[in-house]
Amino acid sequence: MSKERILVVEDQADISSLLKIYFTSQGYEVFTAMRGSIALEICRKTPPNLALLDVNLPDMEGYDIGKALRASPRTRHIPIIFLTARGERGDRLRGLGEVQAQYYIVKPFDIEEVHTIVRNQLEESRRKNQLHPVTNLPTADLINDQMRAMLTNQGWAMALVHINGFETFIQSYGSVVGEDVLKFSALLLNDAINEQGGSDEFVGQMIVGPDFVMTSTPERMRPLCERLIARFDEEIGLHYNFKHRKQGYLEVPDDNGVTRQAPLMSLSIGVITSSDGPFYDIRELSETVEETRQRAVQQAREQGRRSLVAYGRK
């Protein structure tokens, strides 16, 4: 299981250092920022699982950071805890009401109490199956919520990304190494969005299987997928041993015990857009994008290619 990521936004160096040292010792991965702009950049590149926000910062108020997190599909689900010296009733109402933070804690604070609240909020997210246990990407209800929002909007594109050959790979290399492949793929997805995308992209992972969901605009989706495929095909060989990497395939027994050649992992991606609709429910969305992905598998086989993207309904 991946370490859960906590973002600490605090402009007082002693408090920031205290929180980082303490939560790191408790097994979390901790990012710190003393300015709001840096915090938002961290969230754009590596969305955290939880944010601890001060209100008084040199360049903006913590409320504005919280609102920005709530406005982005990639971070709107994360728990927000304010940790601030501003304890007036109006301040609390603004944090809990406008920003919809989970907690508003006034300094001075008891760090063990803060840890208990943080732990409970992260456990609640896991209980709701909101985050994938390996990659920490949104899953389950969060993906469904994103898809429901798409049903009533225009100008969107949705991609279903599947890792071909993943099951064969873990049979040969084991589930632990398989988790490394999932983390690697999640990193590529986030990197592609950071390099090619805008501010409205969403990326999630199905709770079962090596399947990812990405949403963007039709204009940005094509370069996103092209970049993702280029990097995956170029770098996936690093997860194999030298022999398999050099020959380009694995030797695996079939159900009859006969050895067959299984190609290295690749991607099949199906992309649909709002113009392929109308779509009336999320099941129709899911079935259509899966049908499109299956077409990518067939086209890759016919063309002798590894990874491929198929676009739109037939």
Helices 166-173 & 175-196, crossing angle to 10 degrees? 140
State whether 110 and 80 are in the same domain. Answer: yes
Residue 53: CATH number of its domain: 3.40.50.2300
Structure tokens at 189: 């997805």
pLDDT value for 3? 87
State whether 294 and 181 are in the same domain. Answer: yes
State whether 157 and 302 are in the same domain. Answer: yes
CA–CA distance, 121 with 16 (Å, rounded to integer): 20
pLDDT value for 198? 67
Structure tokens at 97: 């009401």
Domain boundary among 70, 100, 127: 127
- One-letter amino acid at 172 equals S
State whether 102 and 58 are in the same domain. Answer: yes
State whether 80 and 172 are in the same domain. Answer: no
pLDDT value for 297? 95
**132 found inside a domain:** no
CA–CA distance, 192 with 101 (Å, rounded to integer): 29
State whether 170 and 285 are in the same domain. Answer: yes
What domain count does the chain have? 2
Domain containing 268: what range? 141-311
Nearest to 79 by CA among 62, 97, 66: 66
- One-letter amino acid at 306 equals R
**133 found inside a domain:** no
CA–CA distance, 110 with 231 (Å, rounded to integer): 45
State whether 169 and 107 are in the same domain. Answer: no
Tens of each residue's pLDDT in the chain, 314 residues = 678 999 999 999 999 999 999 999 999 999 999 999 999 999 988 899 999 999 999 999 999 999 999 998 889 999 999 999 999 999 999 999 999 999 999 999 999 999 999 999 999 988 776 788 899 899 888 999 999 999 999 999 999 999 999 999 999 999 999 999 999 999 999 999 988 766 789 999 998 889 999 999 999 999 999 999 999 999 999 999 999 999 999 988 877 778 888 999 999 999 999 999 899 999 999 999 999 999 999 999 999 899 999 999 76
Q: Where are the alpha helices (DSSP H) in the chain?
A: 13-25, 36-45, 62-71, 89-93, 111-127, 141-151, 166-173, 175-196, 218-235, 242-247, 282-303
pLDDT value for 314? 61
State whether 66 and 164 are in the same domain. Answer: no
**182 found inside a domain:** yes
Domain boundary among 73, 104, 127: 127
**110 found inside a domain:** yes
State whether 213 and 78 are in the same domain. Answer: no
**136 found inside a domain:** no
Residue 180: CATH number of its domain: 3.30.70.270
Domain boundary among 75, 94, 127: 127
- Residue entry with tokens 């969901």: 213
pLDDT value for 141? 87
Helices 218-235 & 175-196, crossing angle to 10 degrees? 140
